[in-house]
Amino acid sequence: MSQAQAKLRIDKWLWQARFFKTRSLAAKQVSGGHVRVNGNRVLKPALSVSPGDVLTFSQGRIVRVVRVEALGTRRGPAPEAQTLYADLTEKQDAPAKNPGFEGKGRPTKKDRRAIDLSRMPDG
């Protein structure tokens, strides 16, 4: 492989590895300063990455940490895209459920009568 082929634009690589739906979304994330390469914040989507670089970026509510293993030639299917990187992201626990919802829903008519009786002033 020649030196010119050993690098690829970061926005193109993120798109080929299927982290973003479109290349312009990947470029927007990079220019917004939301991507780090080897710990340094990147602002230019034209920055070249090569195998061995570690990328840190947010995807939804998850902060992803991936190491570039290979440079792709196309945006192929997901199994092919997964060979382009090694996922270093720490496993996170399942998100907590909504604390206000107990799974019961609306009170039944019997429950509403009991609530009404408990609210009546003694007299």
Domains of the chain: 3-90 (3.10.290.10)
Maximum separation of any 2 CA atoms in the chain, in Å? 92
The per-residue pLDDT for range 2-46, each reduced to its tens digit, is 444 579 999 999 999 999 999 999 999 999 999 999 999 999 999
Give the separation between CA 76 and CA 32, rounded to whole angstroms. 26
Q: How much is the pTM?
A: 0.71
Q: Name the least confident of 5-19, 45-59, 67-81, 85-99.
A: 85-99
- Between 123 and 120, name the one with better pLDDT: 120
- Between 121 and 101, name the one with better pLDDT: 121
- Return the pLDDT at 123: 52
Alpha helices in the chain (DSSP H): 10-16, 23-31, 78-81, 109-119
